[in-house]
Amino acid sequence: MSEAFSAWMKSIQVLMEEALGEFLPAPTEKPARLHEAMRYAVLDGGKRVRPLLVFAAGELFDAPKSELACAGAAVEMIHAYSLVHDDMPCMDDDELRRGKPTVHVKFDEATALLVGDALQSQAFLVLTEGEGDAVRKLAKVRLLAEASGSFGMCGGQAIDLDSVGVFLSRGELEQMHRLKTGALLRASVLLGAWSGKQLSSDETAALDAYARATGLAFQVVDDILDATADSAVLGKTAGKDAADNKPTYVSILGLSESQALAEKLRQDAHHALKDFGSAAQRLRELADLIVDRKN
Amino acid sequence: MSEAFSAWMKSIQVLMEEALGEFLPAPTEKPARLHEAMRYAVLDGGKRVRPLLVFAAGELFDAPKSELACAGAAVEMIHAYSLVHDDMPCMDDDELRRGKPTVHVKFDEATALLVGDALQSQAFLVLTEGEGDAVRKLAKVRLLAEASGSFGMCGGQAIDLDSVGVFLSRGELEQMHRLKTGALLRASVLLGAWSGKQLSSDETAALDAYARATGLAFQVVDDILDATADSAVLGKTAGKDAADNKPTYVSILGLSESQALAEKLRQDAHHALKDFGSAAQRLRELADLIVDRKN
């Protein structure tokens, strides 16, 4: 990772922490316990991969920072709500997330349920905030709603639930992940790009190919880490997938072929950006970050 | 209830059933079980009070039916998702809703969680559908997001959770219900009105006063029915509030004073509409329906 990229990443993470802190209800406002739990779920955690994608794609199309902060906050709230609900006992039943007790452990299950629900509403609210064209904002609401719903993230989780103990082909596994994590990662790239100038169809196709490869790489690496890292480094319970009898890239392809696939997807992501030149450097570095990450 | 009103109500309910059927993903589309459960949660149930409010307010301002159908479907999906999550074991733990097994009983808890999550996304998606001005649509997205979130419905439910076994003053109880059910009922009225011509500030204030009175009346009557009706008529478990040690209008004011309050709120609702003349007849009849209902 270059020093310039590392500094850029840090600056976006700091900016996003501030933006999220402002876009979330203050902990002093009633109902205070709910607001405290919403902030606990979102703030001070994670690498902010989705907002980083928003900013990297946005900067490629000269998007204003304030609009990128709205888009980044919205997509991060959706991501955070999905983690809170995912961790609940009726789903993955996880007690540890980003090295901290999960929301239902720290607070209680009913609060975790409401935190997720309220964060989703808040995400759509944030997308309507700030200056900017109503047509563009509405397109973003539509994109985020599609990426979150039953043909996106929630649909992927439903397939995931139905796959426990089931043999999935590689194609089925890929389809599940395209919905479960890919849809929101793709939305991040497009939300960023749409905050700038109007895209040509070639540019849209290139970004889509980039987002597709990067999104899938993210999941392949997730599966590799779940099989190889320990919980302390991962910040969540490692080895869960095998324990839960869930199909993963590692269980289907084996470890070394999974690693080769992650490498190939990194190259696909780079290749998709070939016509953008040096302006797409941040997106390239993010693809590298996603493949090389250790947690 | 006049015959004309009864026929109007029936026509809207039929129209909404069809619209909801179209706006929800088909049960044949993957993931099929999730889509089947989403449809189970929304279709063939309830009086559609919120869509009726959307249409009654919309017709007062000459709004096109197709736009009202989008708004009605969106608000009904939010309402339905809140019932699915509310019924879950970690919240109210209810097994019966509208005379049918609740979603987590009919399917399972994880599916119920995802159904609610996906219905919320779908509601915002539906608000972006159809013809119409982007500025107006965006205002509706904002209104619905505020009414659903931590300063609206989810916030009211959080206060409700914290109120079990606690003495609430009448003012505190009213504040809880203004958020828990009032915010979405108010949003229904405004979503309908905003689908038509631009409102004057006097008109907005009058509709707000109507929605406030009607929304509170809805809850007072809910508390009366929970204390007096039986489960078969109610289509859900009666007597839950007292059993759960929850503060209600009946527990705070007593039965006869609660009934007098419902009557006063009906008159407040009528009074708020005084300058609209006969064009607001449907809204008046809806206030009557809400106060006079038996389930």
Q: Tell me the sheet residues that pair with A100.
A: A97
- The alpha carbons of chain A give a radius of gyration, in whole angstroms, of 18
CB contact under 8 A, A138 and B137: yes
Q: Which amino acid is at B118?
A: A
Residues B153 and B78 sit within 8 Å (Cβ to Cβ): yes
Per-residue confidence band for A83, with pLDDT thresholds at 50, 70 and 90:
very high
CB contact under 8 A, B120 and A116: no
Q: pLDDT digit string (tens) for B109-119? A: 999 999 999 99
Within 8 A by CB and 6+ apart from B67, the residues are: B58, B130, B131, B132, B195
Tell me the shortest Cα–Cα distance from B104 to chain A, in angstroms.
10
Look at residues B74, B38, B80, B39 and name the one whose alpha carbon lies nearest to residue B54: B74
- More confident of the two residues B294 and A140: A140
What whole-number distance in Å separates Cα of residue B92 and Cα of residue B226?
14
Q: Could you tell me the CA-to-CA distances from A61 to A13, A203, A211, A279 in Å, in that order? A: 20, 10, 16, 9
pLDDT above 70 for A232: no
CB pairs under 8 A between A and B: 157
CB contact under 8 A, B121 and A149: yes
When the pLDDT of each residue in chain B is averaged and rounded to a whole number, the result is: 93
pLDDT above 70 for B188: yes
Residues A108 and B162 sit within 8 Å (Cβ to Cβ): no
Tell me the shortest Cα–Cα distance from A245 to chain B, in angstroms.
17
CB contact under 8 A, A109 and B121: no
**Assigned token pair, A241:** 């997938």
**Assigned token pair, A294:** 């250790």
Q: pLDDT digit string (tens) for B232-269? A: 666 666 667 766 778 899 999 999 999 999 999 999 99
pLDDT above 70 for B76: yes
The mean pLDDT value for B76-101 works out to 95
Of B31, B117, B135, the CB nearest to A134: B135
pLDDT above 70 for A231: no
Give A105's contacts in chain B (Cβ within 8 Å): none
What whole-number distance in Å separates Cα of residue A187 and Cα of residue A204?
12
- More confident of the two residues B1 and A92: A92
Residues A210 and A186 sit within 8 Å (Cβ to Cβ): no
- More confident of the two residues B293 and A34: A34
**Confidence (pTM):** 0.95
pLDDT above 90 for A200: yes
DSSP state of B89: T
- More confident of the two residues B112 and A98: B112
Q: pLDDT digit string (tens) for A99-151? A: 899 999 999 999 999 999 999 999 999 999 987 799 999 999 999 999 999 99
Q: Could you tell me the CA-to-CA distances from B41 to B15, B48, B101, B106 in Å, in that order? A: 18, 13, 10, 10
CB contact under 8 A, B145 and A121: yes
Give A183's contacts in chain B (Cβ within 8 Å): none
Of A109, A117, A128, the CB nearest to B138: A128
The mean pLDDT value for B198-223 works out to 94
Residue A98: the pLDDT is: 85
Per-residue confidence band for B198, with pLDDT thresholds at 50, 70 and 90:
confident
Chain A residue with CA closest to B111: the answer is: A158
**Assigned token pair, B70:** 């989008």
CB contact under 8 A, B31 and A159: yes
Q: Which amino acid is at A114?
A: L
Residue B233: the pLDDT is: 63
Residue A134: the pLDDT is: 95
Tell me the shortest Cα–Cα distance from A29 to chain B, in angstroms.
9
When the pLDDT of each residue in chain A is averaged and rounded to a whole number, the result is: 93
The string of DSSP codes covering A147-199 is HHSTTTHHHHHHHHHHTTT----HHHHHHHHIIIIIHHHHHHHHHHHHTSSPP
A 10 A CB-CB count for B279 gives 12
Look at residues B72, B268, B285, B46 and name the one whose alpha carbon lies nearest to residue B185: B72
Residue A130: the pLDDT is: 81
What whole-number distance in Å separates Cα of residue A12 and Cα of residue B207?
44
Give B125's contacts in chain A (Cβ within 8 Å): 142, 145-146, 149
A 10 A CB-CB count for B121 gives 27
What whole-number distance in Å separates Cα of residue B192 and Cα of residue B59?
8
Proportion of chain B above pLDDT 70, given as a percent = 96
Q: Out of A54-58, B55-59, B206-210, B226-230, pick the least confident.
A: B226-230
What whole-number distance in Å separates Cα of residue B142 and Cα of residue B211?
18
Domain residue spans of chain A:
3-292
- The alpha carbons of chain B give a radius of gyration, in whole angstroms, of 18
Q: Could you tell me the CA-to-CA distances from B81 to A56, A289, B102, B113, B141 in Å, in that order? A: 35, 37, 12, 9, 17
Q: Out of A38-47, A229-238, A276-285, pick the least confident.
A: A229-238
Of B118, B125, B138, the CB nearest to A137: B138
Q: pLDDT digit string (tens) for B122-154? A: 999 999 998 779 999 999 999 999 999 999 999
Residues A100 and A106 sit within 8 Å (Cβ to Cβ): yes
State ipTM. Answer: 0.95
Of A142, A159, A162, the CB nearest to B125: A142
Half-sphere exposure for A277 (CA within 13 Å, toward CB): 2
Residue B255: the pLDDT is: 94
Please provide residue B124's backbone torsions phi and psi, each rounded to the nearest 5 degrees. -70, -35
What whole-number distance in Å separates Cα of residue B83 and Cα of residue B80?
5
User: Could you tell me which CATH number the domain at A3-292 has?
Assistant: 1.10.600.10
Q: Tell me the sheet residues that pair with B96.
A: B101
Chain B residue with CA closest to A35: the answer is: B150
pLDDT above 90 for B81: yes
Residue B220: the pLDDT is: 94
Residue B295: the pLDDT is: 79
CB contact under 8 A, B149 and A113: no
The string of DSSP codes covering B238-262 is TTHHHHTT---HHHHH-HHHHHHHH
**Assigned token pair, A273:** 């950006």
Of B111, B112, B149, the CB nearest to A118: B149
- Residue whose pair of structure tokens reads 């008529």 in the numeric block: B233
pLDDT above 80 for B11: yes
Q: Could you tell me the CA-to-CA distances from B207 to A57, A235, B58, B75, B195 in Å, in that order? A: 44, 51, 11, 17, 14
What whole-number distance in Å separates Cα of residue B210 and Cα of residue B285?
12
What whole-number distance in Å separates Cα of residue B80 and Cα of residue B74?
10
Proportion of chain A above pLDDT 90, given as a percent = 84
- More confident of the two residues A234 and B124: B124
Q: Tell me the sheet residues that pair with B100.
A: B97
What whole-number distance in Å separates Cα of residue B288 and Cα of residue B282?
10
What whole-number distance in Å separates Cα of residue A50 and Cα of residue A171?
25
Tell me the shortest Cα–Cα distance from A270 to chain B, in angstroms.
31
Residue A236: the pLDDT is: 64
Tell me the shortest Cα–Cα distance from A178 to chain B, in angstroms.
13
